[in-house]
Amino acid sequence: MHIFLADVTDIWLRNITVDMRRYVIFAVAVWLVLWVALRGALAARKIREATPERRQLITEFLYSVRSIAVFSTVGVGITFMARAGAYPLAGLAEGWGPVWFWAALAIMVVAHDAYFYWTHRLMHDPRLFRRVHLRHHRSHNPSPFTAYSFDLGEAMLMVAFVAIWPMIFPTPWGVTGLFMLHQIGRNTLQHCGYELMPARADGRPWLDWIATTTHHDLHHAQAGYNYAAWFTWWDRWMGTEHPEYRARYAAVAWRPGRTAPTIVAAE
């Protein structure tokens, strides 16, 4: 029993060290670069006039630490399930070479986008919202530290995908690590409060199929829209994209030849 507990503790500590390092590096780096170093230079790219107070940032950080503890605990379970042979497809995929490795990463990101869209909509059901998703929406004006500021139920839903996906799809373990890196990087940027995606001359994003910071910021402002994580597909297919998204985006995005903020009509 002592050896087992020591093993669990060791796995948990390694997990939380990695997860905390990722969160702190991205959240603090984005905050320092955008909110401190480039604050003046990016003033026209700021989505909202108001800036969250220090108290909000501290609260978000503490709740994010709790979420990371949940992720790390589930990670212990994943490790023991892997030892018990619950992930044969992951082991099989390890020998499929670099082409499959990168293809599996792309597929995992796309699959997670679908998972997030539908679980996110579920969390907005009035019967679940206050118990599962309210904490995240207390950050009405989000910051880079909002990324993991979750209720316990939401934290469990978020990490459940990482536990389930390698069971049902041949995904090398290294892909899962890169997916987590992508997830925290994009998550932090989506809550950063500045629009960094350049626009084309007509005011549309260069990569209109990627969910921008403005796209997710509108969800925090008006929660009935823009449920997607990484791409705009599901919101457009399901009619849940904010009707003013493109106009709001164009008002703050950089585009060639632009000299002052101009709002284009939403379609």
Residues contacting 19, CB < 8 A, separation 6+: 68, 71, 72, 75, 180
Report pLDDT for 261. Answer: 44
Cα angle value 37/43/47 (rounded, 5°): 115
Report pLDDT for 267. Answer: 38
CA 46 vs. chain centroid, Å, equals 19
Q: 0.75 cut: is pTM over it?
A: yes
Question: Concatenated DSSP letters for 45-83?
Answer: GBS-S----HHHHHHHHHHHHHHHHHHHHHHHHHHHHHH
Q: How is the chain split among helix, strand and coil, in percent rounded to 5?
A: 65, 0, 35
DSSP 209: T
Report pLDDT for 202. Answer: 87
What values do phi and psi take at 194, rounded to 5?
A: -125, 140
Report pLDDT for 262. Answer: 44
Give 10-residue mean pLDDT values along the chain (267 residues). Answer: 78 92 94 94 93 95 96 94 93 94 98 98 95 95 96 96 96 95 95 95 92 96 93 97 94 74 40
Report pLDDT for 257. Answer: 64
